[in-house]
Chains A and B, each alone.
Chain A
Amino acid sequence: MIRLENVHKSFGNNHVLRGLTLEVPKGTSMVIIGGSGTGKSVALKCVLGLVTPDSGQILVDGKDATKGDRDAFLARFGMLFQGGALFDSMSVWQNVAFRLLRGSLKRPAAEAREIAIEKLRRVGLKPEVADLFPAELSGGMQKRVGLARAIAAEPEIIFFDEPTTGLDPIMSGVINELIREIVVEMGATAMTITHDMTSVRAIADNVAMLHDGVIKWTGPVAEMDHSGDPYLDQFIHGRAEGPIEAVR
């Protein structure tokens, strides 16, 4: 289980998180929604230790995420970045098998390549893609390679940062289905941040609405449409009028 308790984070005078409290039960898929610049990515980065919170506590399975062995902690995570964040100096299979080629999970190159090709197949990419470089792939293929890399070491917790941004509706649907299948199949705990309401309905068990650095509403995805929360209603229906200012 992941628990964020009263997390605050500011960048200069920009107070991004103002007391974020959120709980993600083990084996469930939580989707965080909210407007641009509301701190969704910062929240994920705080859990991973990429950004240090100013105050508050982040617990993963009851243990403080900022203490203890970082390598062992991060080995439990996989992350799909918004732009893929593939290493462009490496081939596709080396990207996917990055964790399997070095560090505590290191194994022989041939075995790591086999696993990488299997993971590529899992996300719908042919083995021929393995020897290409990221720059030779389309945006959708790069996302899928990023997804394959995120799941290569079979992590217990997977984060997805805007998994469908910049993709056409069909490719978005493919990625959403893949994420759902992978989460269910692996029994992983997932946290996704997105603006895409189709993704929310496809991926989420639970939804949290982040606005002004705090969670305005959280609950099961089935209750999202009749929550009665004016912020969530405005966001999911894409209305310009409402408590969320259109110009931020």
Chain B
Amino acid sequence: MTILLTPVARLGRAVLAAMGSVGRVALFFFSALGHIFRPPYYPRELLLAMLNIGWLSLPVVGLTAMFTGGALALQIYSGGARFNAESVVPQIVAIGMVRELGPVMAGLMIAARVTSSIAAEIATMKVTEQIDALVTLSTNPMKYLTVPRLLAGLITVPLLVGVGDVIGIAGGYFVATENLGFNAAAYLKNTMDFLESLDVISSLVKGCVFGGIATLMGCYYGMHSGRGAQGVGQATKSSVEAAAVLILAANFLITGAFFSV
């Protein structure tokens, strides 16, 4: 009987642990939200976080979008050629970049670049007692560390996604006009005619949600880091894993909410 029940007990413990984690993350998120609206505010920390999360992520997000847009144009051209549909390259690049690849690639790049950096920084602060020092200096770590980063993610990542979408479409445009023989003016006209405002709105909403997820996971795992170098490493790894999975899951849900038939 015990042999039969052991796997069930293990499964139960795993489910309970997972639900506990979800609950703790949710409480952390609502606590951060509550602090957003209550003073004191730290505008300098917010500006620094916006610079780091938004502006300094632009090169990596831009390059990723450009190459993705270019590759997408090549794929659609060669794939479309199988049923004489090469001409849909501008439309599919636009819709693919704006609705899906732009926000998802930017979100994953932010998870890799920003989530890891936030988690490692805050975890190191915890291990070296800098978080305790903040408290003794009458500064709430949630307000000082989490709120500026979360806000910066919510504000700057949609902007990054918008810029990434444009760069991605530009990548497709260059490949299509330089390598695939498309007319430049016609390519741009097709792109503009085909895109709808809902496509752009969904892209920006995704950016906002992904920015929130990426920064929240970095802060959560950093604040709950274990001791020593191993604790910092574990916090960093877990934060990126959680952010990447949640971003992809959220992408599915948002896509369903906007475009399900």
Cβ of A75 under 8 Å from chain B? yes
Interface residues on B, range: 10 to 19
Report the minimal beta-carbon distance from B123 to chain A, rounded to whole angstroms.
13
With contact pairs A71-B138, A74-B138, A103-B138 given, residues A83 and B42 touching in the complex (Cβ less than 8 Å): no
B128→A83 contact, CB < 8 A? yes
Cβ of B178 under 8 Å from chain A? no
Report the minimal beta-carbon distance from B48 to chain A, rounded to whole angstroms.
9
With contact pairs A102-B40, A102-B42, A103-B40 given, residues A82 and B135 touching in the complex (Cβ less than 8 Å): no
Chain A positions near chain B (C-beta within 8 angstroms): 45, 48-50, 70-71, 74-75, 77-79, 81-83, 85-88, 98-99, 102-104, 149
List 8 A-B residue pairs with CB atoms under 8 Å apart, sorted by A's residue number. A50-B136, A81-B132, A85-B132, A85-B133, A86-B130, A86-B133, A102-B42, A103-B40
With contact pairs A85-B128, A103-B40 given, residues A79 and B138 touching in the complex (Cβ less than 8 Å): no
Q: How distant is the Cα of A77 from the Cα of B139 in the complex, in angstroms?
A: 13
* Closest B residue by C-beta to A71: B138
B133→A87 contact, CB < 8 A? yes
Q: B125: which A residues are within 8 A, CB to CB?
A: 87
With contact pairs A102-B40, A102-B42 given, residues A85 and B138 touching in the complex (Cβ less than 8 Å): no
A87→B135 contact, CB < 8 A? no
A82→B139 contact, CB < 8 A? no
A48→B138 contact, CB < 8 A? no
Q: How distant is the Cα of A92 from the Cα of B171 in the complex, in angstroms?
A: 46
Indicate with 1 or 0, residue by residue over B110-135, a CB within 8 angstroms of chain A CB atoms: 00000000000000010011101101
Indicate with 1 or 0, residue by residue over B150-177, a CB within 8 angstroms of chain A CB atoms: 0000000000000000000000000000
B137→A98 contact, CB < 8 A? yes
Q: How distant is the Cα of A106 from the Cα of B238 in the complex, in angstroms?
A: 37
* CB-contacts of B183-207 with A (<8 A): none
Q: How distant is the Cα of A49 from the Cα of B137 in the complex, in angstroms?
A: 12
A75→B138 contact, CB < 8 A? yes
Given contacts A50-B135, A87-B133, A99-B137, 20 further A-B contacts (CB under 8 A): A45-B132, A48-B132, A48-B136, A70-B138, A74-B135, A74-B136, A74-B138, A77-B136, A79-B133, A81-B132, A82-B129, A83-B128, A83-B129, A85-B130, A87-B125, A98-B137, A99-B138, A102-B42, A103-B138, A103-B139
Q: B133: which A residues are within 8 A, CB to CB?
A: 79, 81, 85-87
Q: B40: which A residues are within 8 A, CB to CB?
A: 102-103
B129→A85 contact, CB < 8 A? yes
* Closest A residue by C-beta to B125: A87
B136→A87 contact, CB < 8 A? no
* Closest B residue by C-beta to A72: B138
* Closest A residue by C-beta to B127: A83
Q: B138: which A residues are within 8 A, CB to CB?
A: 70-71, 74-75, 99, 103-104
Q: A79: which B residues are within 8 A, CB to CB?
A: 133, 136
Q: B128: which A residues are within 8 A, CB to CB?
A: 83, 85
Q: How distant is the Cα of A77 from the Cα of B133 in the complex, in angstroms?
A: 11
Question: Which residue of B40, B138, B139 has the most chain A CB atoms within 10 A of its CB atom?
Answer: B138
Q: A86: which B residues are within 8 A, CB to CB?
A: 130, 133
Q: A74: which B residues are within 8 A, CB to CB?
A: 135-138
Q: How distant is the Cα of A99 from the Cα of B129 in the complex, in angstroms?
A: 17
